[in-house]
Amino acid sequence: MRNVINFKLLAATALIVTAFSCKRSSNNSNVDSATGWAINDKNGGFQYNTSFKEQETPPGTVFVEGGTFTMGKVQDDPMHDWNNSPSQQHVQSFYMDEAEVTNVNYLMYLDYLKSVYPPSDPAYSNIYNGALPDTLVWRNRLGYNEMMTENYLRHPAYANYPVVGVSWIQAVEYASWRTDRVAEMSLQESGYLERDSQYSAEAGSTFNTDTYINAPTKTYGGNDSIINPIKSRRRVQVNLKGDTINVYAKRESGLIPVKFRLPTEVEWEYAALGMSELRSYNIYRGRKKYPWDGQYTRSGKRAKRGDQLANFKQSDGDYGGIAGWSDDGADITQEVKFYEPNDFGLYDMAGNVAEWVADVYRPIVDDEFNDFNYYRGNTYYKNAINDDGTVKIVEETVYDTLSNGKIVARNLPGEIIKVPVDEKETYLRTNFDRSDNRNFRDGDQKSSRYYRDSFDDDEREESKFDTRKMYNSPKHNIERDSATGKLIKEYDKSSRRTSLINDEVRVIKGGSWKDRSYWLDPAQRRFFPQDMATDYIGFRCAVSRVGSKSKTNKKKRN
């Protein structure tokens, strides 16, 4: 009888424990499944957006679902460049601008800089001037192009034409500015910042995304009326003592957007091919030649048969074709979205303007080392920290003088100072061991003909220990006289240089209005110095996808 009673007690105890466990289960999104502790408790504790559903599509972009594809040239290459050998790559999902950044987009950026950092103030003049596109790129010694030099950037007739004359460095700065403006609007709409606070910004007191995340009280120069608006009652948290605590949005809130940036080369090529509809065996096998279906540059559809599908140079002295039905609709650039998009909804991924991508150029894509989200150009930095543990904030603008003599702002007031990662982050790591990885595994001494003879005496001795010298490009030097302010230019006159490739040249993709159809193939790749600009290179931005790979397939697989 005693055994029976004990059994019943044990059973009852187990039932109680089971019931308690069920009550604290992970079915409640506001309860931690590992500890049973409350999330988003009104008395404090861990705060997290447990109702987050989906990353919002960034303004001006379209979703590109990632996947695997054949990167590089899979057909005969008459130029025999051999810098685009085919390799299989996998790309994560991301967002990309549906069209190139236009003149009016960039003018909005310039207007912001002009209002916050007035060029009339000597302390800020180089900020605005350093962001200006080079309109002189239109000039030609034996051609009359002054109309474009004077009007292309600012005239309303070219408002929705792709901006040109922008260097890679300027494009990166635009993407950074765009990140701050989109994040600023998101936080205003959610009540974390005062409405229309961007119009009250002054030099040294602007919004910066990294600063807000790491030191929110330093945002807007510490202007409490902006970063702690009275109207935002939902942001006020009360502790057990009854004291009011200001709450700032963190990454856990899901309200701070992912950063805008230039797309990587593998992302750009994958997006340009537009292989979202694998209806053709040749497409799947990587034999798609253009962003559109087919092997030709003219439309085969009955309603538009014979129409050109892109804006490019058709032959010598022929930039658009004979006026009429065979014309491609443009002689220089064309308004964005003039031609049909590819299957991803992206416009002008062939023709109109070539585009900057993020990668440093090398003749070989090292797929043996990495075939997932391939990118050459990683430089890892961390926040500079004060002695008291707080982050260091830029107080005065820091400038760089480029190789062409142009002065650009490297750090603006209110931003966090960044320093290269050091041994604290790299010690005993297997995935990276240095801050600058631009020349990682980019070749060896035998890759360059006459390698040993291409250096001066001092360089030859140094090259014994540095295989990165294989790209022996010219080393021009430019400095500014501290007394007079004049530029001192020293040209590299060495006759031993063997290449134009170095760590400051970036990949450009896609053909342009100035290129033959050969360059319309997304697999084609060229390079250009990152601090220079032309009349045929523009850019568009990308944003990484967070969360699920697909926006439609949300069901869990059993």
pLDDT in tens, 4-45: 445 444 444 444 334 433 344 445 688 988 998 999 887 777
Q: Could you tell me if 498 and 520 lie in one domain?
A: no
Please state, rounded to an integer, the average pLDDT across all residues of the chain.
83
- Is 461 inside any structural domain? no
Distance of CA 410 to the CA centre of its chain: 17
Domain that holds residue 480: 467-502
Q: Could you tell me if 493 and 352 lie in one domain?
A: no
Report how far apart the first and last C-alpha atoms of the chain are (Å, whole number): 47
More confident site: 58 or 124? 58
pLDDT in tens, 146-182: 999 999 999 999 999 999 999 999 999 999 999 999 9
Enumerate residues 6+ apart whose C-beta is below 8 A from 51: 29
Helix boundaries (H) for 220-284:
224-227, 265-273, 281-284
Q: Could you tell me if 439 and 493 lie in one domain?
A: no
**Could you tell me the CATH number of the domain that includes residue 245?**
3.90.1580.10
More confident site: 244 or 353? 353
Tell me the pairing of strands 87-91 and 94-97. Answer: unpaired
Average pLDDT on 194-210 reads 84
Assess contact for 543 and 362: CB atoms under 8 A: no
- Is 39 inside any structural domain? no
- Is 120 inside any structural domain? yes
Whether residue 90 has pLDDT greater than 90: yes
Please give the tally of structural domains in the chain.
Answer: 2
pLDDT band for position 301 (cuts 50, 70, 90): confident
Give the pair of three-digit tokens for residue 509. 């993709």
Q: Could you tell me if 476 and 335 lie in one domain?
A: no
pLDDT in tens, 416-466: 999 999 999 999 999 999 999 998 888 655 445 555 555 555 555 554 444
Rounded Cα–Cα distance for residues 124 and 362 (Å): 36
Assess contact for 456 and 495: CB atoms under 8 A: no
Q: Could you tell me if 483 and 413 lie in one domain?
A: no
- Is 56 inside any structural domain? no
Give the pair of three-digit tokens for residue 297. 């540059």
Q: Could you tell me if 476 and 430 lie in one domain?
A: no
Give the pair of three-digit tokens for residue 273. 């091919």
Whether residue 58 has pLDDT greater than 70: yes
pLDDT for 230: 60
Rounded Cα–Cα distance for residues 319 and 5 (Å): 97
More confident site: 183 or 296? 183
pLDDT for 159: 97
pLDDT for 446: 45
Assess contact for 162 and 100: CB atoms under 8 A: yes
Assess contact for 220 and 226: CB atoms under 8 A: yes
- Is 402 inside any structural domain? yes
Rounded Cα–Cα distance for residues 251 and 320 (Å): 49
pLDDT for 415: 92
pLDDT for 135: 96
- Is 17 inside any structural domain? no
Whether residue 212 has pLDDT greater than 80: yes
Q: Could you tell me if 114 and 196 lie in one domain?
A: yes
Span of 93-97, 290-294, 454-458, 514-518 with lowest mean pLDDT: 454-458
- Is 18 inside any structural domain? no
pLDDT for 454: 52
pLDDT band for position 468 (cuts 50, 70, 90): very low
Rounded Cα–Cα distance for residues 354 and 137 (Å): 15
pTM over the 0.75 mark: yes
Nearest to 397 by CA among 117, 179, 201: 117
Q: Could you tell me if 193 and 212 lie in one domain?
A: yes
pLDDT band for position 325 (cuts 50, 70, 90): low
Q: Could you tell me if 358 and 497 lie in one domain?
A: no
Q: Could you tell me if 419 and 495 lie in one domain?
A: no
Question: For residue 196, how many other CB atoms are within 10 A of its CB?
Answer: 9
pLDDT for 447: 46
pLDDT in tens, 271-282: 999 886 554 444
pLDDT for 42: 74
Coil vs helix vs strand at 109: helix
Whether residue 74 has pLDDT greater than 90: no
Task: Find the helix packing angle between 168-189 and 103-116, rounded to 10°.
Answer: 80
Q: With b meaning 16 or more CB within 10 Å and e meaning fewer, what string describes 225-248?
A: ebbbbeebeebeeeeeeeeeeebb
Span of 1-10, 402-411, 506-515 with lowest mean pLDDT: 1-10
Q: What is the DSSP letter of 196?
A: T
Q: Could you tell me if 497 and 355 lie in one domain?
A: no
Q: Torsion angle of alpha carbons 175, 177, 183, 186, nearest 10°? A: -100
pLDDT for 239: 45
Q: Could you tell me if 475 and 517 lie in one domain?
A: no
Locate the DSSP E strands across 347-468.
Answer: 354-360, 381-383, 398-401, 407-411, 418-420
- Is 477 inside any structural domain? yes
pLDDT in tens, 362-384: 998 988 899 999 999 999 999 99
